[in-house]
Amino acid sequence: MENNTNKLICSFCGSDYPRPNVLLGLDDSIICENCIELYHDIINFGNDEEYESFDINPKFIFDELNKYVVGQTKAKKMLSVAVSNHYKRIKYNLDVEKANVLLIGPTGCGKTLLAKSLAKILDVPFAICDATVYTEAGYVGEDVENILLRLLQNANFEINKAQKGIVFIDEIDKLARKGENVSITKDVSGEGVQNSLLKIIEGNIINIPPHGGRKHPYQEYIKFDTSNVLFILAGAFDGLSSCDKTDNIGLLKTSPNKKNNLYDAVIKYGIIPELLGRLPIVVKMDSLTIDELIRILTSPYNGLIEQYKSLLQVDNVTLRIEDSVIKSIADMAYTTQGGARSLKRILEDIMMDIMFESVKEEQAYEYIITNDTIKDHKKYQKIQV
C-alpha cells in the first residue's frame, strides 16, 4: 500500500519504507525486509542448527551433572542417556518415541536438582510444578494446561523454544488414587488429574489459556505442541521399597513375569497404568549417605558452606568451620532422613546469629565455628584477620 509520501507501508508491521526496502508484494499486500527476516527465523526455529551449540553426548551431560549433583551415579547415567536420546530425536528428526522419565526417591535426595541441572546444562526452558495444586478440568484448582503456560512464560513466550523445553512435575505420588480398583466416582485430586495429564505428557496439540486461570468456552487459546517437551515426573513414594524387590534403576515392563517388580509396585501405590505407560524410563534414587552429605557441604562448586562464605565475603568476613562440625552436621541430617534439605535447615540454624551480626567493616574478621557452636550459637569465635 502506498502513502502520500511516496513510501510503502508493510502489511505486517505497519512501518513505512522507501521503495527499495520493500522486497515482496502482491496486489495491495507487501512485506518489508525486517518482517521477512523475522518470519524466516520463526519458521526455521528448531532446525538442526539450533542444537549445534551444545553437546548431546551422554558422557558430556553426565560430567556436567557431576558438577551440580552429589551421588546418584546410576540416576545421572540413566538421565544422561535419556536426555541425549531425546534431543537427538529432535535434532535429527528421528522416528523415535519420546521417553519421559519418572524419578522415585526420598525427600532431599536430589530429584529436583537433577532436573534443574539438566535444563541449565542444555540451556532450554524449564518449568517446575507441584502436582498437588492441579485438579481435573471443571473443578476448583488449576487446570493441568497451566503447566505448559508456565513453561511458555519461562521461555519469554517464544513458543517454538518452549515446545522443546523440560517440565518437572514434583509430588506426583500425592496423586495416587485411593485403592487399586478403578473409581466409579470423581477423584479430582488424584486419579482425575492423572487422567488429565495423559494427553499432555504423551505429545499432542494442547489449547492453553494465554493468561492462565480457568478455561471458559469463548476465550482464545494458544496452541502448544508437547511432542518434543521432555516430562520428568518425581515423587517420594514412601513405603514403595517394602513391595519392590527389583534393581534400583531400569525400564518399566508393561507385562511383568515376576511378582513384586517395580511396575507392579508403582501401580499398587496408586499410579494408573495409562500414565505409567507414558513414563517408560524409571529411575529409583537412593537416600544420601553421610559421606555424600559431607560432599554436599564442602563441594567447592556451589557447596552449601561455600554459599555462606560468599555471603560473608561481601562484609569483609571469612568463615572457617572445623571438620568435626561438618561431620556432626552430616550425622544430624542423616538421622533425620531429610537429605540435602536437612543440611540447609541445620546450617541456617547454626548461621543465624552470625549472619545477623555480620556487618560490613573495614577491618577484616573471621568467624570460627566449633562443635560448641552447635550446642550454643553464642559460642562461635570472632577474630581479627
For residues 25-47, give the mean pLDDT.
58
pLDDT, position 239: 79
pLDDT over 90 at 235, yes or no: yes
Q: Contact 314/360 with Cβ under 8 angstroms?
A: yes
pLDDT, position 127: 92
Q: In CATH, which of 3.40.920.10, 3.40.50.300, 3.40.50.1240, 3.30.420.10 is domain 49-284?
A: 3.40.50.300
pLDDT over 50 at 182, yes or no: no
Q: pLDDT higher for 366 or 239?
A: 366
pLDDT over 90 at 371, yes or no: no
Q: Contact 250/263 with Cβ under 8 angstroms?
A: no
- Look at the domain 290-384 and name its fold: Helicase, Ruva Protein; domain 3 (1.10.8)
Label the pairing between strands 249-251 and 281-284: antiparallel
- DSSP character for 223? E
pLDDT, position 350: 86
pLDDT, position 252: 44
Of the candidate ranges 176-190, 300-314, 331-345, the one whose mean pLDDT is the lowest: 176-190
Nearest CA to 279 among 263, 290, 268? 263
pLDDT, position 192: 82
For residues 261-281, give the mean pLDDT.
90
| Residue intervals in the chain for CATH 3.40.50.300 | 49-284
pLDDT tens per residue across span 210-221: 776 555 555 678
Q: pLDDT higher for 172 or 375?
A: 172
| Residue intervals in the chain for CATH 1.10.8.60 | 290-384
pLDDT over 90 at 362, yes or no: no
pLDDT over 50 at 185, yes or no: no
Q: pLDDT confidence of 337, banded at 50, 70, 90?
A: confident
Q: Give the span between the Cα atoms of 198 and 272, in whole angstroms.
A: 10
